[in-house]
Structure 1
Amino acid sequence: MKLNLRSVDLNLLPVFSAIMDAGQLSRAAESLGMSQPAISAALQRLRHTFGDDLFVRTHQGMTPTPRARELYDQLGPQLLALRETLDPGNRFDPGTSQRVFRLVSVDYFEMVILPPLLARVRNQAPNVMLEVSPATDAMVDQLHKTQVDLAIDAFVQEEDRLQRQVLLEEGLVVVARQGHPVLKGRCSKKQFLNAEHVVLPDRNRRLPLDQILDAPGWQRRTGARVTQFASMLATAAGSDMIATVPERLARHYAAPLNLQVLPFPVPLPPVPVYMLWSPALDQDPAHRWLRQQLHDTLAGL
């Protein structure tokens, strides 16, 4: 049976959006200037209207049901467009905005992309803040709830409800300290396999490098496992271990850390680095501005 639009109280839709964004009734109530009992009552009316629980209370907060996620993906862009249409003062002005943009990524982003991005942002938006957190397994859920604005990651998220774009393609190279006892300007397959490697934790996803290393005869010797690219570079610089890292990262820090940058022993396809975000933010003027700043920054790298 089709939903009778005359039975839908449109005043409930901002409440639904606020609960999705906040993940908790108390935070949603605070964001809307409502009491928590009023939010709870509105949620009950929403459940009755759509014939679904919409949110299930868990130890992590109010977890949306599949029906709630579907509604949010469809209604989010329309609600943002409606706000902009009805409230022209809500349009984004970089020169006066004090918005905090929240991003999640590995430290490659902070070491390579963030410095020039901040320089570009500061020229246009002196009071805008960028807050970067480590990428975790909760990243997709955070994006859906718009608790974060963007994720920057080399791993494709198998999640059709997220928007995505390729920001750049990154090559992989081998780094070793200057004066390494074996590696001097090149790295053969035999040298690569005989060396000890400093590596990152396995994120259970596949990159071109993983396909090479899983092939017969390509088992490398792991000497240390660390949590960040910065630690990989520091370990390679201070020991005889080697590391396989993104080329832009390696070349940026080779001179300060006294590292050699060597081609990988065999050709590797470049690794795409993706930008991911919620469809609910796709038409948000501030969000579109931030995405454009990222594209413009990377055009100069």
Structure 2
Amino acid sequence: MKLNLRSVDLNLLPVFAAVVEHRQLSRAAEHLGMSQPAVSAALQRLRLTVGDALFVRSRSGLQPTPRADALYQQVRQGLEVLTEALDPEPVFDPATAQRNFRIVAVDYLETLVLGKLVSAIQVESQSLGVKVLPQQAGWQKWLLDAEADFAFDTQPPDDARLLVEAVGEEALVVVARQGHPLIKGSLSLDQFLMAGHVVLPERERRTLPLDQILGMPGWRRNIGAQVGNFTSLVSVASTSDLIATIPLRLADRLAPMFQLQVLPFPVPVDPVPVYLIWPSAMDQDPAHRWLKQKLLDCLPYG
């Protein structure tokens, strides 16, 4: 019949290990911060549990019995595992760790950050990966349920269980194709108001309340197409007479490839903030903190 572990005082095991390692009750007691009688009493209780004397006295101190030697090899490994698992400051070694980090973001950040991030990770590890999750309804719950590690958004969350850091801001510009019949190197407010636009879904458009910015309550863009991501915005603008409003850094990256004009926004507009968001429950996780620093190092806002 196997021993019922619930009947064993596991506090006896560190005492036993200390006596094996120090071979004297007095030294073991000093190491443990216990009195010698308390160490002796603990050993006696463990002897009764395992049914063995565990130690015999000799001129050089206490010598483990064969049963104690075998027990120590197993106990030592178990104590090391428990110590590592319960360590308030566990060590994270990217060279040996295996993990796939998940980041919620729109493709704007995929284009500007993901390549640099993967390269930075691979300098230290070949076993860590990154998966970008699309920013869709309910993404904050992914963070709270440990289904995602980080997220980027233009608005700070209102949930106290999520931590947030403002990491940068992005200016907005308008792009139009080279050879656009009406827009040639400059963009007036009237041209912007009259043009057809390719836009993102409604949630993303709320980040840019144009009717308020332009002082025209209720005004709406003439939407010629709605797409799901920034890359499609650029692609549609490059092959049609629709114009698109996009972040400046993205325009700088993609305009040459898509042969686009990059035009200042027709009226002054505040830059859009970018926030990094993560669950407070993961804030002390060493792997999580390691990836956060990598992310911050790779962001283009420095």
Please state whether the residue corresponding to 1:126 is helix, strand or coil.
coil
- Letter of the 1:243 counterpart: A
Alignment length (residue pairs): 220
Matches of 2:299 and 2:204, distance apart in 1 = 28
| Residues 229 and 133 (structure 1), Cα distance of their counterparts in 2 relative to 1, 3 Å cut | same
Does residue 140 of the first structure (1) align with residue 177 of the second (2)?
no
Does residue 259 of the first structure (1) align with residue 260 of the second (2)?
yes
- Shifted more, 140-149 versus 237-246: the winner is 140-149
Does residue 117 of the first structure (1) align with residue 117 of the second (2)?
yes
Matches of 2:221 and 2:208, distance apart in 1 = 15
TM-score with structure 2 setting the length: 0.67
Task: Trace 1:271-282 onto structure 2 (pairs within 5 A).
Answer: 271-282=272-283
Matches of 1:300 and 1:174, distance apart in 2 = 20
Please state whether the residue corresponding to 2:223 is helix, strand or coil.
strand
| Residues 266 and 83 (structure 1), Cα distance of their counterparts in 2 relative to 1, 3 Å cut | farther
Task: Trace 1:7-18 onto structure 2 (pairs within 5 A).
Answer: none
Q: Map Cα deviations across residues 237-261 of structure 1 (whole Å, 9 max, x no partner).
A: 0001000011111110010110111
Matches of 1:221 and 1:205, distance apart in 2 = 13
Matches of 1:119 and 1:286, distance apart in 2 = 17
Indicate the percent of aligned positions where both proteins have the same amino acid: 49
CA RMSD in angstroms, aligned pairs only = 2.3
Q: Map Cα deviations across residues 128-181 of structure 1 (whole Å, 9 max, x no partner).
A: 100111012211111111111011111332222210011221111000011111
Does residue 176 of the first structure (1) align with residue 195 of the second (2)?
no
- Letter of the 2:280 counterpart: P
Q: Partner of 1:295 in structure 2?
A: 296
| Residues 186 and 296 (structure 1), Cα distance of their counterparts in 2 relative to 1, 3 Å cut | same
Q: Partner of 2:238 in structure 1?
A: 237
Q: Partner of 1:225 in structure 2?
A: 226
Task: Trace 1:1-301 onto structure 2 (pairs within 5 A).
Answer: 86-87=86-87, 91-203=91-203, 206-210=206-210, 211-212=212-213, 215-216=216-217, 218-298=219-299
- Residue 157 of structure 2 contacts residue 164 of structure 2 at CA under 8 Å; is this kept in 1? no
- Residue 175 of structure 1 contacts residue 262 of structure 1 at CA under 8 Å; is this kept in 2? yes
Q: Which runs of 5+ in 2 are unaligned?
A: 1-81
Matches of 1:258 and 1:204, distance apart in 2 = 25
- Residue 104 of structure 1 contacts residue 152 of structure 1 at CA under 8 Å; is this kept in 2? yes
- Residue 173 of structure 1 contacts residue 261 of structure 1 at CA under 8 Å; is this kept in 2? yes
Please state whether the residue corresponding to 1:181 is helix, strand or coil.
coil
TM-score with structure 1 setting the length: 0.68
| Residues 107 and 264 (structure 1), Cα distance of their counterparts in 2 relative to 1, 3 Å cut | same
